[in-house]
Copies of this chain bind each other. A is one copy, B any other.
Amino acid sequence: MLPRGRPRALGAATLLLLVVVVVGFFLFGRDPEYGLQATATLDGDPYGSRNGSTSDLQPLLPPKCELLHVAIVCAGHNSSREVITLVKSVLFYRKNPLHLHLVTDAVARMILETLFRTWMVPAVTIRFYDAEELKPLISWIPNKHYSGLYGLMKLVLPSILPLSLARVVVLDTDVTFSSDIAELWALFAHFSDKQVIGLVENQSDWYLGNLWKNHKPWPALGRGFNTGVILLQLDRLRQSGWEQMWKLMAKRELLTLQATSLADQDVFNAVIKEHPELVHPLPCVWNVQLSDHTLAERCYLEAADLKVIHWNSPKKLRVKNKHAEFFRNLHLTFLGYDGKLLRRELFGCPSQLPAEAEQLQQAMAQLDEEEPCFEFRQQQLTVHRVHITFLPHQLPPPQPHDVTLVAQLSMDRLQMLEALCRHWPGPMSLALYLTDAEAQQFLHFVETSPVLSARKDVAYHIVYREGPLYPVNQLRNVALAQALTPYVFLSDIDFLPAYSLYDYLRASIEQLELSSLQRKAALVVPAFETLHYRFSFPNSKAELLTLLDAGSLYTFRYHEWPQGHAPTDYARWREAQAPYRVQWAADYEPYVVVPRDCPRYDPRFVGFGWNKVAHIIELDAQEYELLVLPEAFSIHLPHAPSLDISRFRSSPTYRDCLQAFKEEFHQDLSRRYGAAALKYLTALQPSQSRA
């Protein structure tokens, strides 16, 4: 009689294992002639069976919780965006812990370090490797491929990855997963003793050398292999003297060919041509290549299941292909996918979170869901994913009096950006509060705007949306932290500065000797507002005063909230010829220019109300002089009330919570500044809550 229950399942598992080995022998047994199996070439008939890829058998998935290693070379702003989409697609399907080995330049490192720190995905470890240090190892190879030197760096991975690392999956930034990467990892189990590199056949005729007259590709076995997805058996590669091998081959070919055309891929193919026993061909579905003259259709029309899409045309998503829409949709899925949903634990695998994330989780868990301000407190604790310099950005040249305009916005203020660029010719650091999908719309918006795409001195930082309340001060702090000039103009997105303001501020900073003296000052830029959609922006203070007298302009919030700017003393400003000092008063919230090491904004103020007021108190408490500049001005344009201000007005809880946070803020202030903070508390009248 057959055993039952657990023993029966075990028996089945053993039998299955046996079978897998036998089947594996059938399907993966090396062809002595080429080291290629029929299943992996485009010209065979590998897709007669329903599934098209042997991997559908999933014979040996790695054990639950086994750590999988992935290496990616990534440089610059655009590749950093690309790699995030790749990583999202991997995370979406993965069920194993991952260790990402990222070879990055300084830009990509800055971006990705911030991103992964704030992303806090469980069971993902990141290690960075400095691409700068690798350049000498490969810069002797002339290369014509658009990936530049960075493409070639995949050749040196066996030398630079830790010796303890035996296997790694190497990915180009322009691939998208539509399956669990563990299935790819599982293919290592099919390597013979001699096989050290797993690759998919190249899905074009490039290496056949017949694409055009005098087309001289590097040598390759048949159609050659594509290196967008590589399985590297690192231990054996090192043992077999890989470093010498590829260098020798590259040097030999470079005697007759002037340069690589396809970067590392040419060298890999040249080595494989000479040593076919090194390659383990992978099923075509693991690297479906959508280059301009792709033959990938032969693969995907037959296969049941595509595993990895490779956008290996310089046109990327705009590649012409009759099925492009299909592939684009797969890619767009992850482009717009809300990354916070990938903060998923792996059930049954231990210790997945960094300490910081663990603490945060505990703090969140301690919040009382029944408390009236719960939503606010949850929002205050929320760590948003942050993608700094989302678009290409050039560092401003160091100038001692330079000023960066700092502001934050969400999607509904995008239309301000062009006007702002016209009014402010200097550097800007802008935090954008967007969903992943909106970030893509924003990208499109900038790319199609000649005004915006011409500006490389505007840094856009995406802070990804999470939670119901607008984290205004967290956004301001992100933009402030990324301002790289000595001074910052802390503005709001609805304001357009005077055309001359950028020059005038730099001149004022110099004249007032703010940097040379030990003078702590906040320069006040007086604020005005227009109530008309369209108006003719004043070219000078004189023109502004005329409009003011005509009732076409007002001082800012004159009707609704005069105390916010009254201390600026507009009457005095009319006549002023020189900067003048003003005193702090309750609820004062001017727009100011300060050194970039100024105090941060208090992140407890989320949603509407008191977010700037608290910051000005902080400046005053730290004894910044408030100096109003006589020629400076900035004008607020009209817009509909925000959702947050609407909620504030309609919800008593909202107002009560704001009051509670004001009080907590004052307690903290007393703690930090002692008796000096008393004046702020005295000024605070609970009944006079902002409305």
CB within 8 Å for A48 and B9 given contacts A23-B15, A23-B19, A532-B531: yes
Nearest 3 Cβ contacts at the A-B interface: A639-B640, A12-B26, A531-B531
**28 A-B contacts (beta carbon < 8 Å):** A4-B38, A5-B44, A6-B38, A6-B48, A8-B29, A9-B26, A9-B49, A12-B26, A15-B26, A16-B23, A50-B61, A56-B58, A95-B304, A323-B345, A326-B345, A329-B342, A329-B344, A333-B341, A336-B338, A338-B437, A411-B411, A412-B412, A415-B640, A416-B640, A418-B650, A533-B560, A534-B560, A637-B640
A137 within 8 A of B: no
Q: Is the CB of A12 within 8 A of B31?
A: no
Contact flags A359-391 to B (C-beta < 8 A → 1, else 0): 000000000000000000000000000000000
Q: Is A676 an interface residue (CB 8 A)?
A: no
Interface membership of A46, Cβ < 8 A = yes
CB-based contact B300/A347 at 8 Å: yes
Contact with B along A303-346 (1 / 0, CB 8 A): 11100000000000000000100100110110011100111110
Interface residues of A (CB under 8 A from B): 2, 4-6, 8-13, 15-16, 19, 22-23, 26-27, 29, 31, 38-39, 44-46, 48-51, 56-58, 61, 63-64, 95, 300-305, 323, 326, 329-330, 332-333, 336-338, 341-345, 347-348, 411-416, 418, 435, 437, 444-445, 468, 494, 531-534, 559-560, 637-643, 646, 650
Contact yes or no, B63 A301, CB < 8 A? no
Q: A27 touches which one: B9, B38, B39, B435 (CB < 8 A)?
A: B9
Whether the pair B348, A329 counts as a contact (CB closer than 8 A) is: no
Q: Are B639 and A347 in contact (CB under 8 A)?
A: no
With a cutoff of 8 Å between Cβ atoms, the chain B residues found around residue A445 in the complex are 643
Residues of B within 8 A of A48 (CB): 6, 9-10
Complex CA gap A95/B307 in Å reads: 13
Report the minimal beta-carbon distance from A380 to chain B, rounded to whole angstroms. Answer: 19
- B58 and A58 form a contact (CB under 8 A): yes
**Total copies of this chain within the assembly:** 2
B residues near A418, Cβ cutoff 8 Å: 646, 650
- Cβ–Cβ contact A44 & B6, under 8 A: yes
Contact, CB under 8 Å: A642 / B415 = yes
Please give, as numbers and ranges, the residues of chain B lying within 8 Å of A435 by CB-CB distance: 437
Given A9-B46, A23-B15, A48-B6, does the pair A347, B301 have CB atoms closer than 8 Å? Answer: yes
Q: Which residues of B contact A9 (CB under 8 A)?
A: 26-27, 38-39, 46, 48-49
Task: Assess the B639–A639 pair: CB atoms within 8 A.
Answer: yes
Contacts of A641 in B (CB 8 A): 415, 533
Given A326-B347, A531-B531, A640-B412, A26 and B11 contact (CB-CB distance below 8 Å): yes
**Nearest B residue to A20 by beta-carbon distance?**
B19
- With a cutoff of 8 Å between Cβ atoms, the chain B residues found around residue A637 in the complex are 640
Cα distance A532–B56 in the bound complex, in angstroms: 64
Taking a contact as CB atoms under 8 Å apart, the answer to whether B437 and A16 are in contact is: no
Interface centre among A57, A305, A333, A415 (most CB of B within 10 A): A415
Asked if A640 contacts B638 (CB within 8 A), the reply is: yes
**Does the CB pair B95–A305 fall under 8 Å?**
yes
